[in-house]
Structure 1
């Protein structure tokens, strides 16, 4: 069986980016918990390709590859900086090109960053409804980080790291159910085939 694919999407229009650092941290944490492979897609370099036209067929090859990676992923971690009280236009532009039913029932971990905790409701009031449209399985505990949680674009806050660990731990049962995996004390694993179980004979 192929490794579980955990794909992160950073909607920051700048590089380097605290949002990308957060998405990368969460993506790697989720992948480690499920024994999967992590990939992070930065949207900033794809802006011109995504804006090449209004339809999926208009986007450039790199943007098209990124869209296909997200649609094929087993788990997705999304993140955006707060901008004018919502996610960035770049973030919305990318998901405007995602197939309407491509994310149905797919586990999504929501993350966001902002200058202060006043922007924390971005996760619940803006991001969750967007992925509700896609009929995705948004995991219950979103992760918000402010500027004080980073040093040189690295996650340094122990409180933020603890929130990430808690979010991953609480989502394991949901991921196990959705991906038909078996929950264990320290993560989840692929199910043992019936013929390989000791009591199968």
Structure 2
């Protein structure tokens, strides 16, 4: 079996990041189920380069490489912290630079982190519409985590680990070639 090129995009704006930790945990669970070649993109690493970019053709090399990795992925894991009821602005800005036809049919596992469970609908009300625009295949189960699911920016909650397993189990067939 050929390894799936999995790109995990974390929309957190700082280090350390619960969104990045969640992306890493999901990626590890996928790797336990199928062969992958994983690449991680952290918006936090692109903040200074991404903020002034107006179009993909004018992007600095770090941003161009991130966009290329996203556009050529076999599958995506996307995570973002909830900021004012939605994803972070620079996370959205990164995806604004992705060609509108590059992700047609690409499986995407959606995930988010927030301060409380009140923000859990961000997956269905913000992330799914964004990837519907790209005509991506959003996987049936998203993963939401709140701050209490982490210890020292590592996934520590058994309930969250189970939600990650469920999302991967229900979506793995869409990830395999």
Residue matched to 1:44 = 44
Aligned residue runs from structure 1 range 49-60, under 5 A = 49-60=49-60
Q: Deviation of residue 130 (structure 1)?
A: 0.3
SS in 2 for 1:93: helix
Residue matched to 1:193 = none
SS in 2 for 1:144: strand
CA RMSD of aligned residues (A): 1.2
**CA-to-partner distance for each residue in 1:99-119, whole Å, 9 max, x for gaps?**
100000000000000000000
Structure 2, unaligned stretches of length 5 or more? none
| Distance in 1 (alpha carbons) for counterparts of 2:89 and 2:58 | 18
| Distance in 2 (alpha carbons) for counterparts of 1:34 and 1:125 | 29
CA contact (8 A) 2:4 2:175 kept: no
- Per the normalisation by structure 2, the TM-score is 0.96
| Distance in 1 (alpha carbons) for counterparts of 2:54 and 2:153 | 33
Aligned residue runs from structure 1 range 141-180, under 5 A = 141-176=141-176, 179=177
Instruction: Kindly tell me the number of residue pairs found equivalent between the two proteins.
Output: 177
Q: Deviation of residue 76 (structure 1)?
A: 0.3
| Distance in 1 (alpha carbons) for counterparts of 2:16 and 2:175 | 30
Structure whose alpha-carbon radius of gyration is higher: 1
CA contact (8 A) 1:11 1:43 kept: yes
- Per the normalisation by structure 1, the TM-score is 0.85
Larger relative contact order (C-alpha < 8 A, sep ≥ 6)? 2
Q: Where in structure 1 do 4 or more consecutive aligned residues deviate above 6 Å?
A: none
Residue matched to 1:31 = 31
Structure 1, unaligned stretches of length 5 or more? 180-201
SS in 1 for 2:110: strand
SS in 2 for 1:34: coil
| Distance in 2 (alpha carbons) for counterparts of 1:14 and 1:175 | 29
- 1:69 matched to 2:69: yes
- 1:87 matched to 2:96: no
**CA-to-partner distance for each residue in 1:20-66, whole Å, 9 max, x for gaps?**
00011112211331211222111112122222331101211011111
CA contact (8 A) 2:78 2:111 kept: yes
